[in-house]
Amino acid sequence: MEQIEYKNEGIKVSEIQFVDNKACLDMINIAPGGLIDILDEQSYFPKATVDSLLTRFDLIFFNQKR
């Protein structure tokens, strides 16, 4: 957006290409089932471990289309 403003004002800038990272952001933030949601869920279990958290992540995200 700002690049368009610069162009309209005659300011020379190198164009910056941005990669759409919506899929990554969705994986982190989506509820229910995003990384943050699963981390929160695991925090309620007193015997939860890093391994149980990673296993849960793996079950949910391993076969998802990227």
Would you list the domain boundaries of the chain? 19-66
Do the Cβ atoms of 27 and 34 come closer than 8 Å? Answer: yes
pLDDT at 23: 87
- DSSP assignment string, 6-52: HHHTT-----------HHHHHHHH-TTTSHHHHHHHHHT-TT--HHH
pLDDT at 66: 55
pLDDT at 16: 81
Q: Which 3 state secondary structure label does DSSP give 55?
A: helix
List per-residue pLDDT tens for the chain, 66 residues long: 788 888 889 888 888 888 899 988 988 988 788 899 989 988 898 888 999 999 988 888 877 665
In this prediction the pTM is 0.59
pLDDT at 65: 64
